[in-house]
Structure 1
Amino acid sequence: MNRKYSYFTITFFGLIFLNFNIVAQQNYTLKDVIEIAKTQSPAYKRAETILENRYWQYRVFKSNYVPQLALSGTIPSFDNSVKPVEQPDGSTEFRPVFISNSNVSLNLEQKIGLTGGTIFVSSSLNRFDDFTRGFNQYGGDPLSIGFRQPLFSFNPLKWDKKIEPLRYEESKREYVEEFEQISKDVAARFFNLLTAQISLEIAKKNLGNNDTIYKIAQGRYRLGKIPENELLQLELSLMNSRQSVAQANLDLETTQLALKAYLGLKNNEELNLIIPDEIPVFPIDPDLALQEALNNRQEAIGFKRRLLEANKEVDRAQGETGLNMNLFGSFGLTNQAEQLPTIYQTPDDQQRVELGFTIPIVDWGRQKSRVKTAQANYQLVQYTIEQEKVNFEQEVYTQVRTLEMLRDQVAITQKADDISQRRYNIAKNRYLIGKISITDLSIALTEKDQAKRDYISSLGNFWQAYYNLRQLTLYDFENNTRLIK
C-alpha cells in the first residue's frame, strides 16, 4: 500500500515538475513577440498616449468653431478709501469713498471662420452700493446682440481650418507607423537574442565535439600516432570552447533582458525563440509601393501641411503690416433702476458702433522686410519639400529592391549553412581516422559556425527590411491590404 502511494506521489509531483518546466520556458515565434510588444510594451503605451494627446488637441481646434457660452462677473469689488475728486471749478478735493460694485454677464459667442469675426449675444447686470449715503442702484443690458469684425487683417481661423485636419490625419498615420517601428525594433532584439541562443548551441556542440576529439587524441598520442604539438592545439581548442560557452551564456542573458525590457515582461520566464525560416513570397511592384506610400504615409500629408503653414505665414505678414481696421457694433436693450426686477421692465434701446484703424506711416522698411522674409521662407519650404519627395521616392524604390535581394540572400545562406554542416561532419570523421590534419578540421569548424551565423543574420536583415517596407508604405503586400483604417 505504501509503495503504491509512493508511486502515485512520485508520478504526481513528476507531472507537476514537467508542467512547471513547460510554463517556465515558452516557445515564441517572431509574430508572437511582435504581438506582445503591440499590446503591452512601453513603446505601445507611448504611441497610444501620443495619439490621445493629438486627439484632444484636435478637439480644442474643433471647439473654436462652435458656440461658446460663458458666465463671468465680479462679486463684489469693494472700495473703502480716500480718493481725489475733481470739483466744478477745476480744483481737487480728497473725499472718503465707501462703495461696492458687482457685475455679472452671460455671453454666447460664435466665431466666423470665413471672415475671422465674432458674433455674440449677451446679457449683463451691474449693482452699485454707496454705503456712506445708504444708496444702491442697478444697471445693465438685459439683451445685447453684436459683432466684432477685423478688416484687412490676418485671419488665423481660415488657415487653421485647412491645417489642423491635416495635422490630425498625420497623427493617425504616425500612430500606424509607430506600430511598424515597434515591429522593426522587436525584430532587431528578437534576432539579437536568437543569435545568442544559436551561438550558445554552437558553443555547447563544439565543446562536446572538442572534448571527444581531445580524449581520442590523448589515446592516439600515447600510441605515438600524433605529435605533442597537435595534442596541445586540441587542448587549447577545448579551453577556448569552454570560454566560448561562458561568453555565450553571458550574451544570452544580456540580450534576453533587453528583449524582455522592451516587451515589458517582468517575469523570470525563459524565452525560447523559434527560427522564422518560412520566408513569405509575394510580388512587389515598385510603382504600387510608391503609390501606396504617397497615399498612406504621414510625410505625404506633411508636405501639404508644411506648404500651407508657410503660406499662412506669408498671409500673416501681409495682414499684420498694412492697414488694419476693426469694426464693432451692437444693439439691444439697456436700463437702470433702484430695484432689481425693474431693470427688465420697459428698457431703453441701446446701439453702439465703433470703427478703429491703424495705418503705418514710417517704419523704415520693417513691413516690407517681414513680407519678403515670409515669401522667401515659403520658397525655401517649396524647394525643401521637392527634394524630400525625391528622397522619399528613392527610399521606397531602394527598399523594394533591398527586400528582393535579401530574400535571395536568405536562400543562399541557408544552403551554405547546410553544406558547411555536412562538410564539418565529414571532416570530423576523416580526422578521427587520420585522413586530414587538425588545421583542416579547424577550418571546417570555423566555416560551419560562420555559415550558421550568416544564415541567422540574413534572416534578421530580411525581417527588418520586411517591416521597414511596411512602415514606408503602410501597406501589407503579403495580404494586399492597407494598414491604415
Structure 2
Amino acid sequence: MNRKTMKQILLAWGMSLLPLLPQAGTAQTARRSITLDEAILLARVQSVDAAVALNKLKTAYWEYRTFQANLLPEISFTATLPSYNKKYNSYQQDNGAYTYVRNDYMNLSGSISIDQSIWLTGGTLSLTTSLDYLSQLSGNKSRQFMSVPVALTLNQPIFSVNNVKWNRRIEPVRYEEAKAAFLSATENVTLNTINHFFNLLLARERVNISSQNLENARKLYEVAKVKRRMGKISENDLLQLQLNMLNAESALTDNESSLKNAMFTLRSFLALEGQEELDPVLPDSIPGGLLNYQDVLEKALANNSFARNIRRRQLEADYEVAKARGNLREITLFAQVGYTGTDHSFRSSYQHLKDNQVVEVGIRIPLLDWGKRRGQVRVAESNRQVTESKLRQETMDFNQNLFILTEQFNNQKRQLKIAGEADRIARKRYHTNVETFMVGQISTLDLNDAQVSKDEARQKHINELFYYWYYYYQLRSLTLWDFDRNTGIDADFEEIIRRE
C-alpha cells in the first residue's frame, strides 16, 4: 500500500466522523418532544408555584370582599331564649336595713338591629327593634312585656381617627397590589420554567456532545493505531488519544446522570406523571426587540405591584400617625331616640308607647400621663420618616435594577448573535481539524483544542439563548407588559376566582 492510497483511506475514515458532529435540535426516538411554549403553558396551569400564586390571590380577594362587606349595612338578630333564675338577692328596705328576697323568674328577649358605618365621620348608626318578656314564677306570678318598636342610635367618636376613611384608602391599594403581584408571580413561574427547561436542554446537549465525542475518540484511536504502526505518529500521541477516549467515556457517564436529574426536576416542576423522557426543542425564534428604558420604567411604575406596595406602606405609616394623634384625647357622643312600651299583654305593650331619649357625651382626657401619648405620636412620626427613607431607597434601587436589566436585554441580542456565529465557526474548525489530523498535519493537542472549543461554543450558544429568554420574561414580570404584542398583561380576576 503506497503513501497516497493510505492517505486516501485515512481521509475517508475521517469523513465518516462528520455525521457525528453536534447538530442543533437532534431528536431522539421514544421521547416526548416539548417546546418552551408548551412547558410554560403546563407550568402556568399545574405547577405548585402557580397554585401558590393563585391561593395568595384568593386570600387577597376574600380579604377585599370582607372589607367591602364591612362598608354595607349589617343586619343582626340577638336573642336570649330563655334565661331562668331562681336565687336569693339582697334588698334594702325603707328603714335602710337589708334583707334577702327570693327571685324565681324567666326572661326572654330578642332584638333585630341594622348597623351602618358612617364613612364620612367614622361613627356608627343603628336602627333597632326589640322585645323583652319577664315571667314571675313565684309569688303573684305576674308577667310583663317591654317593647321597643323602633330606636335610632348614634355612636360617634369626636377626635379619634376615622378608621373607615383610612381603610377605604388603604384596602383598594392593597388589593390592586395583590392582583399585580399575582400577574408577576405568573411571569415568575415562566422564569422558573425557562430555567428548568434550558437546564434540561443543556444537559441533553452535553450528553449528545459527550456521546459524539466518545464515538469520535474511539474511531480516532483506531486510526491512530494504524498510523502508529506505520510510524506516522509518536507513542505519546497514541496514548493521548487513548486517554481522550477514556475521558470521553467518563464525561458521558457524568452527563447522563446530570440529564436524569434535570429531567426529573422539570417533570416535577410541571407536575407531570409517568416516566416518558422529555426531549426539549431548541427555540428557533426569539421574542422582542430593543427596548427604551424610559418606556420600560413608565410601564413598570404603572403596572408593577412595587408601585402599589410603595403607596400602601406610605398610607399605613400615615395611618399610624393619625391613630397616635387621635389617642391624645377621647370624646365620644352617644345618642338614642325611640319609643318604649310596657304592659302585661303583648299587644298592649305596642299600643301605649312613650318617648325614649338618651344623649351621652363621654370625655376622657389624660391630665398627667408623663408624656406617654405624645411619645407615641413621636414614635409614629419617626417610624413614618424611616419608612419614607426606605421607600425612597427602594425606589432608587428598583429604577437602577430595571435600567441594568434593560441594558442587559438589549445587549443580549448581540451576544446571542456572536455566540451563534462562534458555534458555527467552532464546528467548522473541528471538522477541518479532523481532516487535517487524518493526513498527519496537526498534532493531537491541536485536535483536542478544537474539540474543546467546539463543545464550549455550543454550550455558550445555548446559555446565551437562555439569558435572552430569561431577561425578556424578567422585564415582562416587572412591567406586566407583552412587548411582542405591545399590550398589557391582564386577567379577569373575578373569573379566575369563580373558576376555582
> TM-score normalized by structure 1?
0.92
2:257 is aligned with 1:262: no
1:24, distance to aligned residue in structure 2 (A): 5.6
Indicate if the aligned counterparts of 1:286 and 1:397 stay in contact, CA closer than 8 A: yes
Change (3 A) 1:24 1:211: closer
| Matched residue, 2:50 | 44
Show CA shifts across 1:392-447 (max 9, x none). Answer: 22122111111011111111111111111111111112112211111111111111
**Counterpart of 1:153 in 2: which secondary structure?**
coil
2:177 is aligned with 1:170: yes
Q: 2:281 aligns with which of 263, 274, 281?
A: 274
1:187, distance to aligned residue in structure 2 (A): 0.7
2:68 is aligned with 1:62: yes
2:385 is aligned with 1:399: no
1:97, distance to aligned residue in structure 2 (A): 2.9
Structure 1 stretches of 4+ with a deviation exceeding 4 A read 21-24
Q: 1:372 aligns with which of 363, 372, 378?
A: 378
2:183 is aligned with 1:183: no
| Matched residue, 1:412 | 418
| Matched residue, 2:126 | 120
Counterpart-to-counterpart distance in 2, 1:87 and 1:281: 94
**Counterpart of 1:321 in 2: which secondary structure?**
coil
> TM-score normalized by structure 2?
0.89
After superposition, the CA RMSD in angstroms is 1.7
**Which consecutive unaligned segments of at least 5 residues does structure 1 have?**
1-20
2:455 is aligned with 1:449: yes
Percentage of pairs with the same residue: 33
2:214 alignment partner AA = L
**Counterpart of 2:367 in 1: which secondary structure?**
coil
Counterpart-to-counterpart distance in 1, 2:325 and 2:445: 81
Moved more, 295-304 or 195-204: 295-304
1:462, distance to aligned residue in structure 2 (A): 1.1
Moved more, 280-289 or 241-250: 280-289
2:255 alignment partner AA = A
Indicate if the aligned counterparts of 1:296 and 1:484 stay in contact, CA closer than 8 A: no
Q: 1:363 aligns with which of 356, 369, 373?
A: 369
| Matched residue, 1:320 | 327
Show CA shifts across 1:231-253 (max 9, x none). Answer: 22222211121111111111111
Q: 1:336 aligns with which of 339, 342, 357?
A: 342
Indicate if the aligned counterparts of 2:209 and 2:455 stay in contact, CA closer than 8 A: yes
Indicate if the aligned counterparts of 2:147 and 2:350 stay in contact, CA closer than 8 A: no
Indicate if the aligned counterparts of 2:288 and 2:483 stay in contact, CA closer than 8 A: no
| Matched residue, 2:295 | 288
1:455, distance to aligned residue in structure 2 (A): 0.8
2:273 alignment partner AA = K
**Counterpart of 2:327 in 1: which secondary structure?**
helix
2:306 is aligned with 1:299: yes
**Counterpart of 1:370 in 2: which secondary structure?**
helix
Q: 2:353 aligns with which of 343, 347, 361?
A: 347
Counterpart-to-counterpart distance in 1, 2:65 and 2:94: 57
2:83 is aligned with 1:77: yes
Q: How is 1:460-475 mapped onto 2 (pairs within 5 angstroms)? A: 460-475=466-481
Instruction: Tell me the matched-pair count.
Output: 464
1:70, distance to aligned residue in structure 2 (A): 0.3
2:153 is aligned with 1:146: yes
Counterpart-to-counterpart distance in 1, 2:297 and 2:69: 37
**Counterpart of 2:370 in 1: which secondary structure?**
coil
1:108, distance to aligned residue in structure 2 (A): 0.4
**Counterpart of 1:116 in 2: which secondary structure?**
coil
2:255 is aligned with 1:251: no
2:245 is aligned with 1:213: no
**Which consecutive unaligned segments of at least 5 residues does structure 2 have?**
1-26, 492-500
Indicate if the aligned counterparts of 1:277 and 1:459 stay in contact, CA closer than 8 A: no
| Matched residue, 2:103 | 97
Show CA shifts across 1:64-117 (max 9, x none). Answer: 211100001111122223333333333333343322222111000110111011
| Matched residue, 2:244 | 237
